[in-house]
Structure 1
Amino acid sequence: MDQIKARLNIANEQDENIRITCTIGSTVEFLDVLVDNNQGQLKTSVHRKPAAEPYILPYLSDHPRHTHRSTVKSQLLRAARLSPHVEDFDRERLNIEFILLLNG
């Protein structure tokens, strides 16, 4: 473990804008996925970075309408891909609906 931490420290010294962290536990966040290991069973779900949420493309922005449709579609596809159960997808769909309402 000490060797891993030493290599991470060396990597972190290469560029001050990039930080690599080491976390040991039953869950890992990678990009937009949260992977949970529950007694050997892996479960995925949507991960949201606290700093980025609940922002999404505002409806009143000056983007073409197809961009707004694409945003909604991509959020729902992401939820479908990462939700292993219908209940998880439905919870995420409600979350997306709430975020869209907040953004007009």
Structure 2
Amino acid sequence: MKFMAGKYIDDVFMTTNLTKEEILQQLNETMKTDPNFKITITINQALEYLAASIENNNGQLKTTIYHKSTWEPHILPYESDHPRHIHANIIYTMLVRAACLCSTVEDFDMER
């Protein structure tokens, strides 16, 4: 069985080659172990997890940056009263984030 998982605090993401029925059976067995243990299950070809949008494209995982509906493509105005290093750090951080989360050069270029 191929399996990959990611965890951040109480958010878990996983991929597997099990069937949907096998996944649901295993998760239901897990939930029976403790009545306080709650799982929200989403089984799909694509999902948003933390800051990433993840898509299974014919067995190949494709990742891009997930932009929430409230996201605005603006950064701190240069005229704001923040120290100048803050402006440079915002741009640097956004580029590092794009480099880490975008699985293709084309998606990275879209973030620039």
In structure 1, the partner of 2:90 is 71
Aligned counterpart in structure 2 of residue 48 of structure 1, from 63, 67, 78: 67
Which residue of structure 2 lines up, in the alignment, with residue 98 of structure 1?
none
Runs of 4 or more, structure 1, over 6 Å off, are: none
Of 99, 105, 108, 1:80 maps to 99
Higher fraction of strand: 2
Instruction: Quote the Cα distance in structure 1 between the aligned partners of 2:41 and 2:82.
Output: 39
**Hey, what's the Cα distance between the residues in 2 that align with 1:21 and 1:51?**
24
Q: CA RMSD in A?
A: 2.7
Unaligned segments of structure 1, at least 5 residues: 13-19, 94-104
Shift in alpha-carbon separation, 1:87–1:52, aligned structure 2, 3 A: closer
Q: Report the secondary structure of 1:43's partner residue.
A: strand
Amino acid at match of 2:51: D
Alignment partners' CA distance in 2, 1:56 and 1:21: 34
Q: Which runs of 5+ in 2 are unaligned?
A: 1-23
Offset of residue 22 of structure 1: 4.6
- TM-superposed deviation, 1:26: 0.9
Residue 25 in 1 paired to residue 44 in 2? yes
* Secondary structure of residue in 2 paired with 1:50: coil
How many equivalent pairs are there? 83
Structure 1 residue 38 corresponds to structure 2 residue 57: yes
- Is 1:92–2:102 an aligned residue pair? no
Q: TM-score, normalised by structure 1?
A: 0.63
After superposition, give the CA deviation of every residue in 1:42-95 in whole Å (9 maximum; x if it has no partner): 1111111111222432222211010000000011111111122222211221xx
- Percent identity over the alignment is 49
Going from structure 1 to structure 2, the CA distance change for 1:35 and 1:63 (only over 3 Å counts) comes to same
Task: Name which of structure 1's ranges 79-88 and 39-48 shifts more when overlaid on structure 2.
Answer: 79-88
